[in-house]
Amino acid sequence: MSDQKVSAEERNKRVSTLLHQVDEAVKQSKFDLALEKLRKVYEYDLKNMFARAYEERILVMMVEQERRQAKVEAAQNIEEQVTAEVRRRLNDFYRTQEIETQKRKVMQKEEHALEEQARRASVREWKEKDSEALEQERLKRFEELETRMIAQTRQMLQESSSRQLADMMSVLERTTASGGSKSIDRNVLEQLKNEYEAGLADARTKMEEAMAHKLEDERRSIREEAFQILQEDHRRAQEELIRRMEEERQQMVTRDQQKAHNNSLEAYRSLMMLTSQLELAYEVTQPLLRSLRVTLSIGEEEHQKVEREVQVNTYIAAVRETWKSGKPAPDELEVLQSLQRLYTISDAEHKTITDQVKLELGLPDEIVPIFVIDDDQHILAFIKHVLKKTYQTIHTSSSIEEALPSLQKTPPALILCDVNLGPGKMGGFTFYEKLIGGEYGDALKKVPFILMSALTEDFFIKSAKELGVKSYLAKPFTRESLESSVKAVLV
């Protein structure tokens, strides 16, 4: 049965079936299949409102799907870029670490060689010094020993001679006693003399041999004692050198480990700054940083410290970016406040950071009070209008006499004063001379001063500079010259 001959009831039935299939395809996100079914529906009923609704819905869903897919792909690309950058930096870091390690090994080898040479030289020097001292001590003891031995030998020889002499006298006495008053035979005396000399020589020989043996024993004892002392000194010197070398080596290892850990912290800080600058999602950065902490052996306390440093540095960069074109707009300040809350930056920290950034950028402090004195209300209004854009507190007065009570009560950061304030009124030059002379108090004496005048002759400008005036603003002045003069004084 052809399509032309299909009855209305059959056509409606087929359309209903096709729409049901479209619905199922949509639920399964098979949009191409759903669109194909819709084309068949249009063959039966070109104006079917359900088909039109489905088509519109499918097109919207396809656009949303493409948008989500694009976001996913963009996130994946960013993640891949970050991962690639992280890997590149890690590779650079590891390559640097490897180079540093090789350098350290070479340096350690050279240091060990130098230490060994120094140790040997020290031991050799120590040995030479100790050996020399011990040799001198040994020679001294040898001399003392020889002196003592010579004295003992003399004493023993004297004792032996006395004994021989006594024996000889005994023989003479016996001979005399046996012969009566007869004179002693010369032969007997000669025999006695010979016996005395022989005994004396024999005693001397024995004595010398005994002394030589004793001297040699004493020398040997002295040498052995000196050798033992030398060995003990060398052992102590060796142990002391080894102890010192081990301490120095341990200190060097500790320094190298600390240096390597500092490099790891710096690499971690750089990568954390990178993820902050790229404004990656928390779900992307945290697993990466957690893995990096494990790789680089960074503890939780160190992580928190580095994270705080990164947050503060990021906030400083944001403040610098906000203020680099001058005073920021209200919406920019709101963004900065949101960032301040996100990073838990206190108001005191915020003020310190802002003041420092403004000082770096050469921007003035807008909260300082400024006092302007001029008898022309139009000039006062113009100055206040210009300065009010930057500075919050601008006081004005038409005469010095009127301004003095307020000035003495609360000294400002800057005074702008006209030279000629009208007849009968104190002028700017006179006021400044009294001011720096201390007539109005020490507090006002140090306040910077700018003179304003239509008198542009060199005489007045030179006089003002000689007095110490910070700036001489010639009337009529422009907004730019006014801002520049005030900024030059206050920054």
How confident is the model over 427-455, as pLDDT tens digits? 888 899 899 988 888 889 889 999 998 87
Alpha carbon dihedral 388, 394, 400, 405, in 10-degree steps, equals 170
Q: How many CB atoms lie within 10 A of CB 133?
A: 14
Q: What is the pLDDT at residue 170?
A: 63
pLDDT for the residue 181: 42
Report how far Cα 315 is from the mean position of its chain's Cα atoms.
21
Name the residue ranges covered by the structural domains of the chain.
8-82, 89-179+187-271, 306-361, 369-490
Q: Which long-range contacts (CB under 8 A, 24 or more apart) does 352-355 make?
A: 353/312, 353/315, 353/316, 353/319, 354/319, 354/323
Q: Is the peptide bond before 476 cis (omega within 30 degrees of 0)?
A: yes
Residue stretches of the chain with pLDDT short of 50: 1-3, 180-183
Look at residues 108, 78, 124 and name the one whose alpha carbon lies nearest to residue 237.
Answer: 124
CATH fold, domain 369-490, is Rossmann fold (3.40.50)
Confidence at residue 283, expressed as pLDDT on a 0 to 100 scale = 72
> What is the DSSP pairing of strand 369-373 with strand 449-453?
unpaired
Q: H-type helices in 278-387, by residue range?
A: 282-296, 300-323, 330-342, 347-361, 377-387
Q: Tell me phi and psi for residue 474, to 5 degrees.
A: -80, 130
pLDDT of residue 245: 78
pTM (2 decimals)?
0.43
Task: Give the pLDDT confidence of 123-143 residue by residue, as tens digits.
Answer: 555 555 555 666 677 667 666
Question: For residue 52, what are its two tokens?
Answer: 């039109």
